[in-house]
Amino acid sequence: MPELMVNDYDRAKQFYRDVLGFALCFERTEDRFGYFDRGGAQIMLLERPHGSAALPPVTDSRLHFQIEVDQLEPLLDRLAGAGHCLHKPPYTARYRGNDCVYVQREFFVRDLDGYLLRFFQHQAEEPLV
């Protein structure tokens, strides 16, 4: 599971918990560290060392984290309610597997430190043509 370095642990914790729907499994407040889970997708957040310069926002899109959810709509509603813009709005994607095509609805969003997250909802499996 990834451990993401963040500028403000409390702010990141609130965003991951209250907006993205992750549950806080445990934290070490003295280390500004938390371990989170959302339906089996696990992530760790760690605040940059005190006294070090603020980290620039992550802007590279070559890496993203894919997270499966049962339903996209509640998450999209929470993001909109928080005034948080999407990096790429919801769309239907088709990905070829070994013996079928996986159909899913997905969107991309950046967290408060710029990390790119892809949330997806599985919709169907279609035969290869």
pLDDT of residue 43: 97
Q: How many domains does the chain have?
A: 1
> Residue 19 belongs to a domain with what CATH number?
3.10.180.10
Residue 55 lies in a domain: no
Residue 31 lies in a domain: yes
pLDDT of residue 60: 80
Residue 58 lies in a domain: no
In tens, the pLDDT along 75-121 reads 999 999 999 999 999 999 999 998 999 999 999 999 999 999 999 99
pLDDT band for position 53 (50/70/90)? confident
Residue 56 lies in a domain: no
CA 55 to chain centre: 19
pTM of this prediction? 0.91
Residue 113 lies in a domain: yes
Q: What average pLDDT does this structure show over 30-41?
A: 96
Nearest partner of 38 among 21, 15, 25, 18, judged by Cα: 21
Q: Taking all residues of the chain, what is their mean pLDDT, rounded to a whole number?
A: 94
Please say if the pLDDT value at position 56 is more than 90: no
Residue 73 lies in a domain: yes
Phi, psi of 42 (to 5 degrees): -115, 145
Residue 10 lies in a domain: yes
Residue 57 lies in a domain: no
Domain range for 67: 3-50+63-127
